[in-house]
Structure 1
Amino acid sequence: MWAVSTVTMLVLAGILPDFQLQSPDGDSATTIAVTAALGAGAFGVLSAVVWPLLVRLLLLVPALVLGLLVFFLNGSLLLLALRVNPSGRPEAAPETAVIVAAVMSAVASATGAALAVRDDDAYRSRLHRLALRRGLPTACSTTPGTAVIQLDGVGHDVLRDAVDQGLMPTVARWLGAGPDPAAVPPTHRLDPWRTDWSSQTGASQLAILHGTNHDVPAFRWYEKDTGEVMVCNRPSSAVELQRRAVARTGHAGLLADDGASRGNLFSGGAGESALVLTVSARRGPGTRSRAGYFAYFCDPANAVRTALSFVAEAGREIGQSVRARLRKQRPRVSRGGLYPLIRAFATVVERDVVVAAVMGDLLAGRSAVYADLVAYDEVAHHSGPRSRDAAKVLRRLDRSLALIENVAEHAPRPYRIVVLSDHGQSPGETFHARYGLTLGDLVRAGCGLPVPRRAERTRSGAEARAAVRAALRRPVEEGGEHHRPGRRPEPVVLASGNLGLVSFPDVPHRMSEEEIAARHPALLSTLANHPGVGFLLVRSEEHGGVVLGARGARVPLADLDADPGPLAVFGPGAADAVRRTHSFPHTADIMVNSSHDPADGEVLAFEEQIGSHGGLGGAQSRPFLLSPLRCSPPVPEDTELVGAEEVHGVLRRWLTEATTGPAGPRVPAPAAPEPSVPQPSAPEPAAPAPAAAEPATEERAA
């Protein structure tokens, strides 16, 4: 590596006019070579010794700012290496030093990796040093560990098609679907599962990690008893949701036994958490919310490689956006402003840091790891779930899975790699693009309130923004949202993909159909008869709850299973999902699901997304579970896996099997039973949140 770095420095000195390795009077070739060798050696030593110290001194700097400082710090180290060089008079302009340092770091990283992977022992030793550098004690065990990788937003059919098209060769090999399936027997099985009505990361991941998503009706919703808007990717809201889940189930979470949580919204009770939203709300010397960023950037080669990839990805997004605009591609949403940087963060920085953290966990021999990769979900929101942009992300995610698999082979214990998604995505135009108004405008019109002449678009609530805000230490939801609407008479209208929620803050209880009709006679009919609305859910004093549709359709919840049912177009299980959400204490006064075209699977998002999720309709409700054949089947044959709570039960069973041996394919019942559907005869105040048991240790710190 020293020799290659020396040659690299000599080549750069010959190419760059502002980089000199000889004195103005000229030097012999030998002197120049010695100068380059000493300079390369000094730079290597400084990178190995001084760089980690610099990163630790910058712990108070937001992670994204640290990423922007990578080039400056690396260039400064090169200038220092040239200054202490005792041979010759090497000089470099500051801007040139940045280029030289970046190239030399990249070449050194590539050389070290190429030399190490030629020998398994060397590769194992190199990875072991990485684990030790992060302060992770390695532990040898014959008990299998479990690594669960969440590919955020990848639907079952999208994954299956990507395998068939050759975009994901690693997954294809696991499924025995390579060029010669007979030569490579399958090691994994692929199963679909069905989400709840709220098909989004907050509800799914909370249930997967903590066993329940009770009273999570959407991605964002208004709670009348507190007067606040809850948002799943706001740190304070995520902490409260996790506290409620722990109190309801009575256990800390899936990862409570020597587990690690990486890049998630919730900790799962893990003792090791990095890039986790609930931890980012903590303050004080004990917080480790961004520890994963600094552990990763301690290696200057990682920092330079990721920074270069970040710039390239941002440029790639700008080019793709311009091409889509020039071609007048439809559907299309705005991809300007900070979006190129947000996409680059999700597809490069977050992916690299999380994968590196998982590698460290495997080398440390942790019993359970759960990590979320949000790259596909972010790109699919703006480019479409089956776009070329999203396909390229799937290809890169497959390479990440291959890297994790390779590292697992050198771990001190055997590992079972489980890959799953929390939801899919359904394509389609936005509600605003098709009809020229937002759901909020339609609600105001139905209430007889003035409607702005120019509709204000609803911002996207993609998960990657939470990670960006945490990295920037700005953990507050976007300014367009009202955190505390107060007891105003105007309705609060919130969007969660193609699911809309309408609440009246000045009424302390969940309003009934009769009360809404008396107060705003035209509202329910305006919403139900709009062509962009599929159905409404409201409480009824007569039937407990009713689903309203176009042309006066009014079906009590008890009759939703009639054949053909009013929700049949939204897929199997839609009626059960609606009834379950109706039982939640904080369900909105009016729940609005957009229309759905089963012919092409399209929905109309109430947010600015052309690939959306959050409600019923299409591929968004059909994620996947890719599990090793060594694990017992998730469910018996001809049985469907329904709900994220059942996925939690399956994962808990597999963790138990790792120590006690295989069990049957039984899916444990949820830790806490859901209450029956209420049948109130008169308006009642909304039930308060479940009483809190003593929170887990991590949440007491929060």
Structure 2
Amino acid sequence: MGRWRTTGSALLRVIVVWVVSTLTMMLLAGILPDFKLTSDNGDSITRVALTAAWGAGAFGLLGALVWPLVVRAFLLVPALVLGLLVFFLNGSLLLIALRLIPTGRGAAEPETAVIVAAVMSAVASATSTALAVRDDDAYRRRLSRLADRRRRRRGEGPVPRPPGIVFLQLDGVGEHVLRDAVDAGLMPTVATWLKGTHRLTPWRTDWSSQTGASQLGILHGSTFDVPAFRWYEKESGEVMVSNRPASAVELQRRAVARTGDGGLLTLDGASRGNLFSGGADQVALVLTVAARRGRRNRSRAGYFAYFCDPANAVRTAGSFVAEVGREIAQSTRARIRKETPRIKRGGLYPFIRAFATVVERDVVVAAVMGDMLAGRTAVYADLVAYDEVAHHSGPRGRDTDQVLRRLDRSIALIAGAAQHAPRGYRIVLLSDHGQSPGETFEGAYGLTLKDLVRAGCGLPVPRRARRTRSGAEARYAVRVALHRPVEDGEEARPGPGSEPVVLASGNLGLISFPDAEGRMTREQIDRRHPALLPTLASHPGIGFLLVRSQEHGAVVIGRGGAEVPLAQLTDGKGPLKGFGRGAADAVRRTDTFPHTADIMVNSMYDPATGQVHAFEEQIGSHGGLGGEQSHPFLLSPLDLTEPVPDGGELVGAEQVHHVLRRWLREGQGPQVPVGAEALAGVENSPSTGRPEGPFPVGGLTRQDKTS
């Protein structure tokens, strides 16, 4: 009887969705002039209804049968383009469905078909979800069957009693930003957790305060020899870039070799939207996988499970277009109001932002919910939306406030899915770094760090850089150092050797001389380019330099040339005055890395305003020392042990890794409630207590795929 009841309930939902889709098609035919369901002579309402029923049924069948095949074929297309093709593909299916109407009465112009298909997909998804919300028993039975089916396919036994853990990384959200967002009412879900079920623990990054180092440390337990987001390796002559697939694979290989461990997620884990896999078998949108070959390992394969549902595809594509328009409107408003600091936000950036804040978010959230419904033990997912927007709009403001609201909604959706998972789940929120505001180095001084280094070496620089005060002072310093007058328009004769490689990682700069074997000493640099170090150290936009000396070992050079041996370096004094607690240890640790640059350059930092100067085009930056960029957070359930006992300090991503490992071993104790209390700020159904209506942010609806 239970099986017949379930079958009958499912059949009833199909019929209701069909009827609603038919009525929607009839309504659109009456509104849109280029969409017809009648003959030229007109038809009765009964004939129109039958025609609409045929068309709606054919469109629904094509969506269920043909759409997954079409999406799989288009996985060869870049993900950004795939999002733009969704409307076209859905409209094409509607045109085919109209041609399948036996009476031949259905017709639509191609552009109208796109609109009709989008509306019908959205209405069908909303109707199906609303019906399923009212049927608690059927939904729970369906989830249980899906979970049991997966376990049988994997040859697993019953679901273990201990709860699993979901680690959600809010990329770039610093501790202070999170607290301010909670206080301002932007994140009601997080606010509710802080009031009763979770604790907030700040932690400190290494000198390299960026995702490449932090996430490698969190997932694989090692940040050794990751001096920045990008750096030059002399033995290979290559630039390592953390978000380049080949570099990410090599970094993960080095970390595994150093620790002798596969990673945080090796035991029934899933990695979603990350740079590194963490040793997980289940991966989607993971950069290290993007470098592999083969159908199963293509990075775009992670999109299939989400976009195979046309309702998901249409919803995300619509949000994508809206986000592009939102970014154009926001950047236009900033230009009109002459807001400062401000950087250029044209070109492809609106589409890149929309991909990070919509497509990546929706796919990752859906994948995490699927992992929970599948009962996986550990899931680690990265939501990059805030970090992307903050780089271009600044860490605080209306632009980032909107992103934080949507992130909270995504957290609530994931918490809601935990109610229906075959095992309990603890949800841990964390970030990999924060962001510090400030005008770019080039915006403040008219030249880039590379221009300043070249000028200090006596190398040619662009005319615009020569005209700046900093450029002129550097050229004058070169003339004095070389004891050779140089007329206006003439370049100083540079020293011997190759040109320096200058790289930027937020407000951290790295200068390397490729022809010099190993790390150059201060004495060698002074012999080759006697004006370079004085030029850098005296510049108002630079806070301090790290170089190696033959006489004193590593030294830190501050303003005015003040030089302190690394062993004597202390927080809050000398070159590190104002940079905060732990700065000296962070610099000392980086000095031990084999690939630390010949000259490490940290920008100035103003403790009064919290501002730094990024050496790249970012008004919200991270990568070095100074301000909130070094202060991420860890938000954990109270029934997990404290991250650091006795009020200690959590320092470095490697320590965070060990804390997360410990929590994965803690299988006993009560489960964290992630039901009604966790869904604060989300309107719930009076009869079920679950989120009402369709999930608007990439969540799995009851008829969606869960794998």
Please give the TM-score of this superposition, normalised by the length of structure 2: 0.86
Displacement of 1:533 after TM fit?
0.3
Could you say which residue in structure 1 is the equivalent of 2:159? 140
Equivalents in 1 of 2:288, 2:620: separation in Å? 26
| Gapped regions of structure 2 (runs ≥ 5) | 1-16, 467-495, 672-707
- CA displacement 1:54-83 (0-9 Å, x = unmatched): 222333233223222211211121112111
Shift of 1:284: 2.3
Residue 152 of structure 1 corresponds to which residue in structure 2?
A: 171
Question: For the residues of structure 2 that align with 1:567 and 1:552, how far apart are their CA atoms?
Answer: 13
**Distance in 2 (alpha carbons) for counterparts of 1:562 and 1:146:** 37
**Alignment match of 1:64 (pick from 68, 80, 90):** 80
| 1:107 CA displacement | 1.0
Question: Cα distance 1:92–1:132, how it changes in 2: closer, same or farther (>3 A)?
Answer: farther
* SS of residue paired to 2:75: coil
C-alpha displacement at 1:543, in angstroms? 1.6
**Equivalence for 1:341:** 351
Give the CA deviation at 1:50. Answer: 1.4
Going from structure 1 to structure 2, the CA distance change for 1:633 and 1:217 (only over 3 Å counts) comes to same
Q: 1:566 aligns with which of 548, 567, 575?
A: 575
Q: Name the structure 1 match of 2:362.
A: 352
* 1:134–1:295 CA contact under 8 A, matched in 2: no
> 1:141·1:412 contact (CA, 8 Å) conserved in 2?
no
**The one of 647, 650, 654 aligned to 2:656:** 647
3-state DSSP class of the match of 1:508? coil
Unaligned runs of 5+ in 1: 177-185, 457-486, 663-702
Partner secondary structure for residue 396 of structure 2: coil
Indicate how the Cα distance of structure 1 residues 573 and 173 shifts in structure 2: closer, same or farther if over 3 A, else same: same
Does residue 410 in structure 1 map to residue 420 in structure 2? yes
Q: Is the Cα contact below 8 Å between 1:153 and 1:376 reproduced in 2?
A: yes
- Cα distance, 1:287 vs. partner? 1.6
Contact 1:597 1:603 in 2 (8 A): yes
1:328 to 334, 338, 347: 338
Q: Which residue of the other structure, out of 510, 517, 525, is the alignment partner of 1:516?
A: 525
User: Distance between the aligned counterparts of 1:596 and 1:17, measured in 2?
Assistant: 61
CA distance in 2, matches of 1:623, 1:133: 40
Match of 2:51 among 23, 35, 43: 35
Instruction: Report if aligned partners of 1:116, 1:126 keep a CA contact under 8 Å in 2.
Output: no
In structure 2, the residue matched to 1:674 is none
Deviations, residues 433-490 of structure 1 (Å, cap 9, x unaligned): 000000001111111111111359xxxxxxxxxxxxxxxxxxxxxxxxxxxxxx9700
Q: Which residue of 1 aligns with 2:212?
A: 202
Against the structure 1 CA distance between its residues 52 and 455, is the aligned structure 2 distance closer, same or farther, given a 3 Å change threshold? farther
**2:603/2:612 contact within 8 Å kept:** yes
What one-letter code is carried by the residue in structure 1 that aligns with 2:590? T
Distance in 1 (alpha carbons) for counterparts of 2:94 and 2:138: 28
Query: Which of structures 1 and 2 has the bigger CA Rg?
Result: 2
Alpha-carbon distance between aligned partners in 1 of 2:501 and 2:210, rounded to the nearest angstrom: 21
Q: Does 1:109 align with 2:125?
A: yes
1:413 aligned counterpart, secondary structure: coil
The 1:134–1:55 alpha-carbon spacing in structure 2 relative to 1, beyond 3 Å, is farther
User: Partner of 1:221: helix, strand, or coil?
Assistant: strand
Cα deviation per residue 1:269-298 (whole Å; 9 max; x = unaligned)? 000111000100111234242222111100
1:118-166 Cα shifts (integer Å, max 9, x gaps):
3433444666788899998696331110100000000000000000000
Among 375, 379, 395, the alignment partner of 1:369 is 379
1:94 aligns with 2:104: no
Partner of 1:466: none
- Paired residue secondary structure (1:454): helix
In structure 2, what is the equivalent of residue 24 of structure 1? 40
Matched residue, 2:189 = 170
* Counterpart for residue 628 of structure 2: 619
- CA shift in 2, pair 1:332/1:16, >3 Å: same
1:218-233 superposed matches below 5 A: 218-233=228-243
> Quick one: distance in 1 between partners of 2:132 and 2:82?
29
Secondary structure at the residue paired with 1:58? helix
Match of 1:554 in 2: 563
The question of whether the paired residues in 2 share the 8 Å contact of 1:212 and 1:249 is answered with yes
- Asked if 1 retains the 8 angstrom alpha-carbon contact of 2:507 and 2:615, the reply is yes
Equivalent position of 2:591 in the other structure: 582
Paired residue for 2:511? 502
Taking the aligned partners of 1:95 and 1:418, their CA distance within structure 2 comes to 45
- Give the 3-state SS of the residue equivalent to 1:273 in structure 2: strand
Q: 1:197 to 1:385 in 2, by over 3 A?
A: same
CA distance in 2, matches of 1:56, 1:253: 30
Worse-matched range after superposition: 585-594 or 560-569: 560-569
Report if the CA contact (8 A) 2:225-2:595 is conserved: yes
Match of 1:536 in 2: 545
- The residue type paired with residue 607 of structure 2 is P
1:559 partner letter: Q
Are positions 1:2 and 2:18 aligned together? yes
Q: Could you list the per-position Cα deviations for residues 177-231 of structure 1 after superposition, in whole angstroms to 9, with x for gaps in the alignment?
A: xxxxxxxxx1110110000000000000000000001000000000011111000
The CA deviation at 1:115 is 2.1
Check the 8 A contact 2:502/2:509 in 1, yes or no: yes
CA deviation digits over 1:35-61, x for unaligned, max 9? 112211221111111111222233323
Q: What SS does the aligned partner of 2:575 have?
A: coil
Q: Are the equivalent residues in 1 in contact too, given 2:91–2:114 (CA < 8 A)?
A: yes
Letter in 2 for 1:149: L
1:541 & 1:243 partners in 2: Cα distance?
A: 33
* One of 280, 293, 297 as aligned partner of 1:287: 297
SS where residue 59 of structure 1 aligns? Answer: helix
The answer to which structure has the higher helix fraction is 2
Secondary structure at the counterpart of residue 397 of structure 1 = helix
Structure 2 CA distance for aligned equivalents of residues 379 and 145 of structure 1: 31
Stretch moving more, 106-115 or 592-601:
106-115
Tell me the distance in 2 between the aligned counterparts of 1:27 and 1:547: 86
Q: State the match for 1:419 in structure 2.
A: 429
C-alpha spacing 1:128/1:263, structure 2 compared with 1 (3 Å):
farther
The one-letter amino acid paired with 1:643 is G
Alignment match, 1:179: none
State the match for 1:673 in structure 2.
Answer: none
How many residue pairs align between the two structures? 623
Q: Is the 8 A contact 2:545 2:557 kept in 1?
A: yes
> Could you say which residue in structure 1 is the equivalent of 2:701?
none
Which residue of structure 2 lines up, in the alignment, with residue 679 of structure 1? none
Query: TM (normalized to structure 1)?
Result: 0.86
Partner secondary structure for residue 372 of structure 1: strand
Structure 1 counterpart of 2:697: none
User: Counterpart in 1 of 2:269?
Assistant: 259
Match of 1:476 in 2: none
The alignment partner of 1:11 has SS state of helix
1:132 and 1:378, CA in 2 relative to 1: closer, same or farther beyond 3 A? Answer: farther
Identity of aligned residues (%): 76
**For residues 610-646 of structure 1, what are the alpha-carbon distances to aligned partners after superposition, in whole Å with 9 as ceiling and x for unaligned?**
0000000000000000001111000013211000000
